[in-house]
């Protein structure tokens, strides 16, 4: 399958190439030339499969040149790293409301679903296109991608990983997870700034010809593990299908019935994967885009204007503290009828003035497919408390934003279809804020918070958290955002 850049300046003839490059040369994002389709009969077959088999079926639709059985083995390997061998269990809260738990992987956030598999997709992709150089994965993270990428790629052959995170923009547990990372091929540095600063710095390195030439002289090529990379996006499409298959298999719905998905959104990768699933034929009614106080997306979906010129809030759902949602570019591209010059013009506008506007017709299409709303900090905490009291179920701070917006959606639209809420992180990653939401005085120490959360909820503390206590802090460097290039060049030498 061919992949084209959203900005029209680049095209590659295989998914392997799109994945190994990460970002298109013109600064755009790779998108499949057409969407493969999945029939109701296919969906019916998925019901009998386990998660790895479902994932392989969906992913291979895009990655045709990868050997099916080889991919299946890789999926089985990746998803055996998840608790109980199920990467995406569906939990029923009531007849119309389900939680898709995506956080049972090695780093306790949904990014593991893609990042346990990406090393295979990338290594194989490079082999298929004859890339001989060492691959340097540059990552900008709002907390969870960094750790998941480090863990996924640690000690991988011919690959190095360099992670930048905002020094004050991640939770204590997230910071500890990254600072204690093991592996001989990894580096982690904090940038004084927010996530958007990290993302801009990384994007700049990707598109700077001089830096890329310099790297090539050192036998290094760049790739990305952010959701800008198609290889990161495509494994995320699978769990929408898997959730649907589980609903059919457990007779909660009939084959062909429509379902709504609610997604706590930051960089727009997760929800875009849902949009792709819908394009492939999955019976999705509405995709619901849930934001925190950084509600740039809510405003966009309501008004048609994307305006990043606004105050940046540090919230208790830090992985959603983003003002420039990279993957929205892929949606804008589809909305415009795949008009690459219009997409490029809008992205240029975003770069120079921090905003752009879509047409009224495009806005109407958006409204048909999406519902968007946001939740403030107080509401986020109250939701955690309410859901715990009503169902005995503990939401993390990101999932709580989604849950709260799901309630707004049901009240405002009276939509009767079942709602699946994507749960993106374990509450133990954000113990302090989850505890204080449940009305308990939260200790300062992150581990004491975890202990207390266990006392109240009797939900087991994941071993990944317990193990952190003993680990040595290897990475403590904090830099100015102007120093990123030097850090990268230093690392590859
Ligand atoms: C990354 C992340 C999000 C946001 O996902 P996007 O794909 O960036 O929209 C939400 N919640 C958690 C816990 C995350 O780690």
- Mention every residue, 6+ apart, whose C-beta is less than 8 A from residue 3: 11, 12, 14, 15, 17, 18, 30, 31, 32, 33, 230
DSSP letter, residue 319: G
Residue 271 tokens, joined:
């929800």
Count the alpha carbons within 13 Å of 217 in the hemisphere toward its beta carbon. 8
Q: What is the pLDDT of residue 171?
A: 86
Q: Which helix (H) or strand (E) holds 260?
A: strand 259-264
* DSSP secondary structure string for all residues of 392-436: S----HHHHHHHHHHHHHHHHH---S-EEEEE-B-GGGGHHHHHH
Strand partners, 262: 288, 421
Q: What is the Cα–Cα distance from 473 to 261, expressed in whole angstroms?
A: 38
> How far, in Å, from the CA of 172 to the mean position of ligand 1?
17
25 within 8 A of 34, measured Cβ to Cβ: no
Q: Which helix (H) or strand (E) holds 101?
A: strand 97-101
> Positive or negative CA dihedral for 311, 315, 318, 320?
negative
471 φ, ψ (degrees, to nearest 5): -80, 150
DSSP letter, residue 109: B
- Per-residue pLDDT tens, the chain, 493 aa: give them: 999 999 999 999 999 999 998 889 898 999 999 999 999 999 999 999 999 999 999 999 999 999 999 999 999 999 999 998 799 999 999 999 999 999 999 999 999 999 999 999 999 999 999 999 999 999 999 888 999 999 999 999 899 999 999 998 888 889 999 999 999 999 999 999 998 899 899 989 988 999 999 999 999 999 989 888 999 999 999 999 999 999 999 999 999 999 999 999 999 999 999 999 999 999 999 999 999 999 999 999 999 999 999 999 999 999 999 999 999 999 999 999 999 999 999 999 999 999 999 999 999 999 999 999 999 999 999 999 999 999 999 999 999 999 999 999 999 999 999 999 999 999 999 999 999 999 888 898 999 999 999 999 999 999 999 999 899 999 999 999 999 999 999 999 8
> How far, in Å, from the CA of 425 to the mean position of ligand 1?
8
Q: What is the Cα–Cα distance from 413 to 375, expressed in whole angstroms?
A: 17
Which residue is it, tokens 């849902």?
274
> How far, in Å, from the CA of 266 to the mean position of ligand 1?
5
Among residues 61, 111, 147, 175, which one is catalytic? Answer: 111
Q: What is the Cα–Cα distance from 105 to 237, expressed in whole angstroms?
A: 17
Question: Which of 165, 271, 327, 424 for a ligand 1 pocket mutation test, highest count of atoms within 8 Å of Cβ?
Answer: 424
Going by alpha carbons, the residue nearest to atom 1 of ligand 1 is 319
Burial class for 69, CB neighbours closer than 10 Å (0-12, 13-18, 19+): exposed
- Mention every residue, 6+ apart, whose C-beta is less than 8 A from residue 21: 12, 30, 223
Q: Which helix (H) or strand (E) holds 98?
A: strand 97-101
227 CA: nearest ligand 1 atom: 7
Q: Which helix (H) or strand (E) holds 197?
A: helix 195-207
Q: What is the Cα–Cα distance from 480 to 113, expressed in whole angstroms?
A: 32
Residue 7 tokens, joined:
């900005």
Going by alpha carbons, the residue nearest to atom 4 of ligand 1 is 266
DSSP letter, residue 313: -
> How far, in Å, from the CA of 292 to the mean position of ligand 1?
12
Minimal CA–CA distance to 423: which of 147, 152, 88? 88
Taking residue 414's Cβ as centre, other Cβ atoms within 10 Å add up to 7
Taking residue 348's Cβ as centre, other Cβ atoms within 10 Å add up to 13
324 within 8 A of 280, measured Cβ to Cβ: no
CA-based angle 331:337:340, to the nearest 5? 80
Expressed in angstroms, the distance from the first to the final Cα of the chain is: 36
Question: Is 111 labeled as catalytic in the residue annotation?
Answer: yes
> Positive or negative CA dihedral for 280, 282, 283, 286?
negative
pTM above 0.85, yes or no: yes
> How far, in Å, from the CA of 150 to the mean position of ligand 1?
17
Question: Which of 29, 141, 196, 270 for a ligand 1 pocket mutation test, highest count of atoms within 8 Å of Cβ?
Answer: 270
424 CA: nearest ligand 1 atom: 13
């Amino acid at each position: 399958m061919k992949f084209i850049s959203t900005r029209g300046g680049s095209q590659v003839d295989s998914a392997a190439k799109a994945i190994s490059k990460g970002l298109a040369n013109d600064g755009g994002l790779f998108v499949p030339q057409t969407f493969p389709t999945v029939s109701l009969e296919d969906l019916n077959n998925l019901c009998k499969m386990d998660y790895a088999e479902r994932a392989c079926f969906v992913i291979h639709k895009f990655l045709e040149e990868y050997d099916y059985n080889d991919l299946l083995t890789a999926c089985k390997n990746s998803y055996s790293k998840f608790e109980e061998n199920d990467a995406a269990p569906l939990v029923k809260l009531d007849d119309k409301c389900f939680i898709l738990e995506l956080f049972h992987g090695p780093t306790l956030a949904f990014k593991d679903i893609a990042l346990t598999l990406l090393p295979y997709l990338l290594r194989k992709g490079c082999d298929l296109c004859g890339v001989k150089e060492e691959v340097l994965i540059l990552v900008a993270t709002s907390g969870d991608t960094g750790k998941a990428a480090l863990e996924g790629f640690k000690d991988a052959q011919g690959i190095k990983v360099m992670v930048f995170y905002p020094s004050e923009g991640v939770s204590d547990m997230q910071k500890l997870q990254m600072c204690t990372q093991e592996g001989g091929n990894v580096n982690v540095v904090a940038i004084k700034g927010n996530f958007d600063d990290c993302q801009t710095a990384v994007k700049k390195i990707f598109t700077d010809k001089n830096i890329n030439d310099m790297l090539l002289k050192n036998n290094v090529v760049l790739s990305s593990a952010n959701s800008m990379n198609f290889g990161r996006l495509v494994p995320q499409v699978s769990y929408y299908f898997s959730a649907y298959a589980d609903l059919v298999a457990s007779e909660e719905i009939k084959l062909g019935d429509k379902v709504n998905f609610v997604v706590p959104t930051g960089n727009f990768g997760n929800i875009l994967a849902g949009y792709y699933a819908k394009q492939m034929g999955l019976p999705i009614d509405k995709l619901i885009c849930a934001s925190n106080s950084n509600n740039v997306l809510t405003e966009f979906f309501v008004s048609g204007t994307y305006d990043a010129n606004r105050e940046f809030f540090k919230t208790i759902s830090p992985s959603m503290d983003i003002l420039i949602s990279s993957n929205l570019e892929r949606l804008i591209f589809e909305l415009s009828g795949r008009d690459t010059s219009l997409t490029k013009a809008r992205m240029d506008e975003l770069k120079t003035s921090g905003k752009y506007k879509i047409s009224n017709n495009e806005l109407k299409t958006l409204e048909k497919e999406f519902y968007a709303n946001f939740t403030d900090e107080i509401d986020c905490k109250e939701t955690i408390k309410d859901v715990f009291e009503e169902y005995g179920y503990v939401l993390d701070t990101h999932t709580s934003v989604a849950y709260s917006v799901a309630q707004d959606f049901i009240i405002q639209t009276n939509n009767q279809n079942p709602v699946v809420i994507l749960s993106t992180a374990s509450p133990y990653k954000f113990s302090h804020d989850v505890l204080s939401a449940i009305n308990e005085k939260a200790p300062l120490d992150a581990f004491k918070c975890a202990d207390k959360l266990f006392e109240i909820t009797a939900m087991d503390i994941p071993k990944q958290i317990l193990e952190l206590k003993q680990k040595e802090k290897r990475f403590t460097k904090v830099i100015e955002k102007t120093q990123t290039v030097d850090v990268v060049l230093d690392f590859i030498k």
